[in-house]
Amino acid sequence: MAALSLDGRRVLLIVSGGIAAYKALELVRLLRKDNAGVRAVLTRRGAEFITPLSLQALCEDRVYTDLFSLTDESEMGHIQLSRSADLLVVAPASADLLAKMAAGIADDLATTILLATDKPVIVAPAMNVRMWQHAATVANIAVLRARGIVVIGPDEGPMACGEFGPGRLAEPAAIFAAVRDFFGKSGALAGRHVIVTSGPTYEPIDPVRYIANRSSGRQGHAIAQALAANGARVTLVSGPVTLADPPGVVSIHVETAREMHAAAAAALPANVAIFCAAVADWRVDASDRKIKKSGTVPTISLVENPDILSDISHRANGRPGLVIGFAAETENLVANATAKRLRKGCDWIVANHVGAGSDVMGGTDNEVVLITQDGAEPWQRASKSAIADKLVSRIIKALS
């Protein structure tokens, strides 16, 4: 749902080099017309395509150009610039700037702001089609997406260099719509960031075989969708599932427990984290070659995986305000889950019975007991999406 206007929202626009830089002027015009506050940073390369003066004429403020200008730093340092914004938009984002963002390089004002910021970032790439399709750019975009950065475009079409393909900067109206969409989220969880893990993990034995479990990801995906429907910014870290990515959610696809751990940690900070995934407790000390039959049965040795829920729950810095774990138990559900809540350091545990015949793992329904510091509360058996809605209502209540 779109907001009525961007009234008072503060956007920091970073304009990097490229023929499309001139379109940034139209974007500023659209943002200003919608009453957004716009500050702009023009990179050295960007200033070869448009002048600081033309950008400044449209912005409410002077244009910032160089980290090492003493006047810039004394008037408004790079940290202050990123703090004073609600959202950072990089348009156009050159291949070079995207690579620096992915690598964490901070060698001018724009890249320093991007490394120092804790604000959400939208990038609109623009470059030659071959640069866009180069493996390095593909990898950089994947890294940025995995960090929750929203990527708009690029569009496909004839390019200034005479080639045809994807690489053109998205139209200013489309970038503006993405900004509106970002701020337009309404609902009780608007402005909150929630991390959800979902699905199984696959632990390779060798390049062709793996150990997995029966989790379908249905419950975690339903929770992510219900959170987004209530206005939350959701990062879903999903193991291999056959489900579609839920709409309005940043989905990060991983395979192993260690990848899930790294992706969930990289998505912090968050207001709430929900660990719904059925993470493999052990990984195989894997062979990098296919294990061949040799007359004897091979032995698989297991190594313990990191406990993602426990790690994030016990963090002294950056622990989400509300951490929710799940507990899959085959017996003594309430006692085991209550002990698990304390052991793992989380606030709530959603416990479910996964014994033979329970039909929960991989099924469409769930029957859970919510364990909080106040005790155990059994919920009626219901569809996984109804359980998700109920859990999200409880989260909204707890945060308000």
- Least distance between ligand CTP and beta carbon 378 (Å): 17
- The reply on whether position 153 binds ligand CTP by CB under 6 A is no
Closer to ligand CTP at the Cβ: 183 or 326?
Answer: 326
Per-residue binding string, ligand CTP, 158-197, x by CB under 6 A, is ---------------------------------------x
Contact flag: residue 16 with ligand CTP (CB under 6 A)? no
3-state secondary structure of 211: strand
Q: Give φ, ψ of 349 to 5 degrees.
A: -130, 130
> Which range touches ligand CTP (CB under 6 A), out of 102-110, 130-138, 243-251, 321-329?
321-329
Task: Please pick, from the candidates 309, 322, 368, 387, the single residue that binds ligand CTP as defined by CB under 6 A.
Answer: 309
By CB under 6 A, the residues from 193 to 222 that bind ligand CTP are 197
Q: How far is 310 from 306, CA to CA, in rounded Å?
A: 9
- Considering only 72, 86, 203, 307, the residue that binds ligand CTP (CB under 6 A) is 307
161: annotated active-site residue: yes
Q: C-beta of 383: minimal distance to ligand CTP in Å? A: 20
List the 348-353 sheet strands across, edge first: 250-253, 233-238, 193-198, 272-275, 322-329, 348-353, 368-372, 375-378
Q: Looking at 156, 281, 359, 377, which residue binds ligand CTP (CB under 6 A)?
A: 281
Mind giving me the DSSP string for 45-79?
TGGGTS-HHHHHHHSSSPEE--TT-HHHHHHS-HH
- Give the shortest CB-374-to-ligand CTP separation in angstroms: 19
The number of C-alpha atoms within 13 Å of 256 and in the hemisphere containing its C-beta is 17
Report the distance separating Cα 62 and Cα 70, nearest Å: 15
* Residue 327 is a binding residue for ligand CTP (CB under 6 A): yes
Evaluate whether 17 touches 90 at the Cβ level (below 8 Å).
no
Residue from 286, 328, 371, 391 binding ligand CTP (CB under 6 A): 328
Q: Does 86 bind ligand CTP (CB under 6 A)?
A: no
Q: What gap in Å lies between CA 77 and CA 40, rounded to an integer? A: 13
Pull the structure tokens for residue 126.
Answer: 């623009």
Please, are residues 17 and 110 in contact by the beta-carbon 8 Å criterion?
A: no
Q: How many residues bind ligand CTP (CB under 6 A)?
A: 14
DSSP β-bridge partners for residue 272 = 194, 322
Closer by beta carbon to ligand CTP, 182 or else 275:
275
Active site residues: 161
Q: Which positions lie near ligand CTP, rule CB under 6 A? A: 197, 257, 275, 277, 279, 281, 305, 307-309, 325-328
